[in-house]
Amino acid sequence: MGKRLLIFTVFVLAFLLFAQAAFASGIYLVQPGDTLWSISQRYNTTVSALAGENNLSDPGYIEVGQRLVVPGAEQTVHIVSRGETLWQISRNFNVTVDAIARENQLTDINLIEIGDRLVIPKAEEMPAEVSIQAASRGGRTFSASELELFARLVHSEAAGEPYLGQVAVAASVLNRVDSSRYPNTLSGVINQVVNGFYQYSPVLDGRINIPASESARRAVSDAINGSDPSLGATGFYNPRKTSNQWVRQQPVTTVIANHVFFR
């Protein structure tokens, strides 16, 4: 009995030591299309360091599903809890939704389930200007000037709103760009005037010229990456600040803080 207990204890200790080493170094599961070079770039290491750590005699040969120890790449794993969304998780870890989606090979960022284990990439510097291509938006790219205008609009329209509301405002603007009922460019949507009425009051009263906050820029980034708390809305209003009866008659998609979102 004592011998079995000793064997069991040794096994447990060996397992714990392995787990500790795996956490300290990081474990990467090779995906289709990966090369040792691309993995080294992702984790800011070198091909020779990866090859040496994993005893690879041929650095040019790795297999899909192979587990590689990545030196120095501390791996954070987050288990999804009830009510969480990918953008909320991204905010908690100071990374982008797109980075988490890429790391976990997520094809639909809206489909995560309670108990899912998400590998969180290293915290990154959030971009001051969003300059990424948004595959979720039909592959559109946006100029730096458009993105600056976009962030300033979100700031002027939703600076006092919770972050979720800021992302929703940004998403509703992008939904207009995607809709055949509105101009098909960001600047066209933001500056649109219909029958003498500006679609966004900050463009009329000059608040659009106020510099954007970092929060507004992050909201723009998340919306471009596919987050849409507005649930497909193409507009929004504050019922306490508008007497426009037309907007009040439109189908409501959701209400976030002081804004009613409609399609």
For 27-86, how does the pLDDT look when each residue is reduced to its tens digit (9 = 90+)? 666 777 888 888 888 777 888 888 888 888 888 889 877 877 777 665 666 778 777 777
* CATH fold for domain 76-125: Membrane-bound Lytic Murein Transglycosylase D; Chain A (3.10.350)
Fold of 135-262: Arc Repressor Mutant, subunit A (1.10.10)
- Domain regions of the chain by residue span: 1-74, 76-125, 135-262
SS3 state at 205: helix
Most confident of 12-16, 63-67, 125-129, 258-262: 258-262
Max Cα-Cα span within the chain:
89
Answer for the pair 130, 152: CB distance below 8 angstroms, yes or no: no
pLDDT for 114: 87
- pLDDT surpasses 50 at 123: yes
Give, in order, the Cα–Cα distances in Å from 77 to each of 95, 187, 232, 233, 256: 13, 39, 31, 33, 30
Give me the pLDDT at residue 258, please: 95
DSSP symbol at 210: S
Domains 1-74 and 76-125 share a fold: yes
Residue predicted with more confidence, 49 or 191:
191
pLDDT score, position 86: 77
Q: What is the pLDDT of residue 149?
A: 92
With both helix axes pointing from N to C terminus, report the angle between 163-178 and 214-224 in degrees, rounded to the nearest 10. 50
Comparing 213 with 124, the larger pLDDT belongs to 213
The pLDDT score that the predictor gives to residue 90 is 74
Task: Enter the tokens of residue 252.
Answer: 């409501």
Task: Say what percent of the chain tops pLDDT 70.
Answer: 77
More confident residue, 53 or 92: 53
Q: What global pTM score does this model have?
A: 0.53
Domain 1-74 has CATH 3.10.350.10: yes
* CA-derived radius of gyration, the chain: 24
Could you tell me if 130 and 147 are in contact, meaning their C-beta atoms sit under 8 angstroms apart? yes
